[in-house]
Structure 1
């Protein structure tokens, strides 16, 4: 089996993310876990004084561009994206995860999407190398 370096892109609200990190690691892969990154803690908007649901566009832009914690969170995730040879987008996810998969596809890295019944179809998912519908398919694709 080939050992992969996986960037798992998803959402903090995705209940499947922790279990998939564990499963992939049990299968011998190295996995970047944005919730528990090495040498840091997972980033949240509240750490830079923002309520993501009610901040203004100006507050968002200013905090994103000037707050050291935003820079630290971005740099940790982006370094992991450069380190990884594979991106697994686990749905449901937010906009950042889709940006991450898009960047990795453009960088020529292997890209997989894990979807399930009830997810809204997305035409640009065709950028991914493979669309999987179960964790077993992901494991088989990584082998």
Structure 2
């Protein structure tokens, strides 16, 4: 069985179901919504409810100085190092794509789960597999 890092977005309603399916068939799965340490997953609103109005300088300062951001980063980075496989669940944001790129750069397995209506992305060719259903993901992991 694999150690899987599921990279996605808080806005992705498919992510919890995929985590459950992967666990149901015996894989160990890191869920960024519920990290191993028991502390709820990182959200910018924990730092500042007005985070969407930050200037670029505020973003950089708070990203590099906030203990909340540091905790979230360490949780996710340690889980990435622990995992042997990344499953990128589309749609998702920039952080998830950076995470998937890190896996590809480390020579680790990276599977993309996409659906009809997602914008095509050329660099998806870096991934080990591109799947269009949860069943295909499960097959690719065998």
Q: Could you give the per-residue CA deviations for residues 9-30 of structure 1, whole angstroms, max 9, x where no partner exists?
A: 0000000000100000001000
Q: Which runs of 5+ in 2 are unaligned?
A: none
Instruction: Quote the residue 1:22 is aligned against.
Output: 20
Q: How far off is 1:53 after superposition?
A: 2.5
Query: What TM-score results when the alignment is normalised by the length of structure 1?
Result: 0.96
Aligned-residue CA RMSD (Å)? 0.8
Give the 5 Å matches for 1:85-96.
85-96=84-95
Query: What TM-score results when the alignment is normalised by the length of structure 2?
Result: 0.97
Cα distance in 2 between the residues matched to 1:120 and 1:88 = 18
Q: Which runs of 5+ in 1 are unaligned?
A: none
Work out which of the residue numbers 33, 48, 53 in structure 2 matches 1:35.
33
The structure 1 segments of at least 4 consecutive aligned residues displaced by more than 6 Å after TM superposition are: none
Aligned to 1:53, the other structure's residue is in SS state helix
Cα distance in 2 between the residues matched to 1:67 and 1:59 = 11
Aligned to 2:4, the other structure's residue is in SS state strand
Aligned residue pairs, count? 141
Mean Cα displacement is larger for which, 34-43 or 45-54?
Answer: 45-54
